[in-house]
Copies of this chain bind each other. A is one copy, B any other.
Amino acid sequence: MNERDKGTEEKIVQAARAVFLRKGYNGARMQEIADEAGTNKALLHYYFRSKDRLFEVIFLQSFSQFFPKVSTILTGNEPLPVKVVSFVEHYIDLLRENPYLPQFILSEVSRDPESVPRLFQAAGLNPEWFMGQLANIGQGVFPPGSDVRHFILNMLSMCIFPFAARPLLTRVMFSGDDAAYENFLDQRKREVSSACLQLLSPTAGQR
């Protein structure tokens, strides 16, 4: 794999990413990837041995993209609300630039759940450490009996679901007007931030 390969190999990777993200592993065709890359099927097999291996490259890339480098956010000194708002805004920006990412990750993980530990390993991420950090941060903010995970999950749900369900929501909530939904998503950085802050603020005996 010398330098001169990089041109076509990179073209193939980009094409594969575009097709796999839209169609998923089962829906994607090697022929379509070749077309999109402006070459032929044989070259795909020359650079990557099989459809499986090519997919693995894309899946791993996407996976580590989907789990952002939150280390900096977690280990920062800012108070929790600031961290939350910062996370929400950055993450929704990321998803707006990669609209197919959520549905892709969800589908493919559900197709092959066993791959998750390996992917974390390969991406250099450690879920246990991650959850541990969250538990620490939650100290004193959440009532002792409560589970920080519910708050985290609420936050992630509100960020990710609108993108994963986009084709459906566009038609249900905006009669198929895609531009209107795009505009709606634009407001969500502020909406979700606001909602998360509200969930953080202690209220009288809600649970």
Contact = CB atoms under 8 A, between A and B. Distances in A.
Contacts of A194: 206-207
A147 interface: yes
A173 B149 contact: yes
B154 A158 contact: yes
A175 B128 contact: yes
Interface residues of A, number: 57
Given A149-B184, A150-B188, A171 B107 contact: no
B156 A161 contact: yes
Nearest to A103: B110
B103 A171 contact: no
What is the total number of copies of this protein in its complex? 2
Interface string A151-179: 01110111011101111111111011000
Interface stretch (A5-13, A37-45, A51-59, A196-204): A196-204
Nearest to A128: B175
A197 B207 contact: no
B107 A107 contact: yes
A190 interface: yes
17 contacts: A103-B110, A106-B165, A110-B166, A116-B172, A127-B171, A127-B175, A131-B173, A150-B188, A153-B161, A153-B173, A156-B161, A160-B165, A161-B164, A195-B199, A197-B206, A198-B198, A198-B203
Interface of A: 23-24, 26-27, 103, 105-107, 109-111, 113, 116-117, 127-128, 130-131, 147, 149-150, 152-154, 156-158, 160-162, 164-173, 175-176, 184, 187-188, 190-192, 194-195, 197-199, 201, 203, 206-207
